[in-house]
Amino acid sequence: MSGWLARTHKRLCAMISLGAGTLLGVAVFAIGPECFEVLRWWQVVLAAATGYFLFALISKYVFHVCPACAASHFDEATTHHFTEIAIPMMVALAIHCTVDGVALAAGHEESVVATPVRGLDASMTFAICVHKMPEGLALGALLLGASFARWRMLAFVAAVESTTILGAWLGASAFHGISEFWLAAVLAHAGGGFLFLATHAVLGEILKQHKALVLGSFLAGFGIIGALVLVFHLRE
């Protein structure tokens, strides 16, 4: 059993790092250039900082916004309190997923309005979908650790992750006809959140174990997004 768990954790580390790399790739290759076309550098930094510190504050005072990114931080003592942290964990993740949905809506709207950087919509959708896989697995594992029945775990994971759709709907409603300036500001805000998730995921795992695997998976995800954006750019 311990060998099986070790291999599972190793695979989870690879998935977490791959997802983190794709999120950082979107921030660097798609969101950043797009925002700098519309906003001044200090406006980009300010908007990104709001996204970064929003997730940092939620992680500090509620629960980490990404259970997959925090998976390596749970020690044996913490596992005895899974039942107590299940609700704040799901609340924090629901906020995270809602922001993901808003980012998807903003990316799609920006792709329609003006696209100096090709592939923003597709690359963001791909990155968020890749990130959702380890996120859902980690949430499910933590809920099972909190003694949730399997059917309840599946229902809660589905409910929490579905807030991504809610965020996309809210974003699509709010961003219709909005100026390019505010779209860029929302994208920069989302990019700051992606930066927080990416750095926390990689640093959390790389300081503990599987360093080569973590770095390789992270760079693979980062490179995939860079290649995807380049392909869309060359096709135009």
Sequence-distant (≥ 6) Cβ neighbours of residue 213 within 8 angstroms = 10, 13, 14, 17
Instruction: Collect the ranges in the chain with pLDDT lower than 50.
Output: 1-7, 75-77, 79-80
What pLDDT was estimated at residue 6? 41
What pLDDT was estimated at residue 34? 85
Sequence-distant (≥ 6) Cβ neighbours of residue 215 within 8 angstroms = 17, 202, 206
Q: What is the Cα–Cα distance from 16 to 122, expressed in whole angstroms?
A: 20
**Could you read off the pLDDT of 99-138 as tens digits, one per residue?**
899 988 888 777 666 555 556 777 888 888 888 887 787 7
Q: What is the Cα–Cα distance from 155 to 163, expressed in whole angstroms?
A: 13
The two three-digit tokens of residue 10, written as one number = 């190793």
pTM summary value: 0.81
What pLDDT was estimated at residue 4? 39
Sequence-distant (≥ 6) Cβ neighbours of residue 147 within 8 angstroms = 82, 83
What pLDDT was estimated at residue 135? 79
What pLDDT was estimated at residue 5? 38
Residue ranges of the domains in the chain? 7-235
How many CB atoms lie under 10 A from the CB of residue 50?
13
Q: What is the Cα–Cα distance from 95 to 169, expressed in whole angstroms?
A: 14
